[in-house]
Amino acid sequence: EGSEIFESMLIRALVYQGQYDRALDMIESSLAKPSSLDPATVLFYPPFDQLHDHPRFREVMMPYARAEQIDAATAWVAEQ
């Protein structure tokens, strides 16, 4: 569990540093295995919202959420 928390903190740090490609690679890896990171967190919570406009964001999220869910989540976050 400690490594999962470290991984989540590392992903957040990468996002804050603007290293979006590396963050998305780690998100993709984390979502593919049981971890503390889940699709809802990536869709709705900061700092992951900074990734919504990244060209690979949808591709990374599609195995874990339907396109309508991704669209609804990104629209909701943008309105907040």
Residue pointed to by tokens 């979006």: 20
66-78: average pLDDT: 95
Higher-pLDDT residue of 4 and 40 is 40
Compute CA distances 67 → 29, 45, 71, whole Å: 20, 18, 6
Q: What is the pLDDT of residues 12-71, one digit of tens each?
A: 999 999 999 999 999 999 999 877 789 999 999 999 999 999 999 999 999 999 999 999
The predicted structure's pLDDT at residue 1: 54
The predicted structure's pLDDT at residue 22: 97
Handedness of CA 62, 67, 73, 74 (dihedral sign): positive
Helix (H) or strand (E) holding 55: none
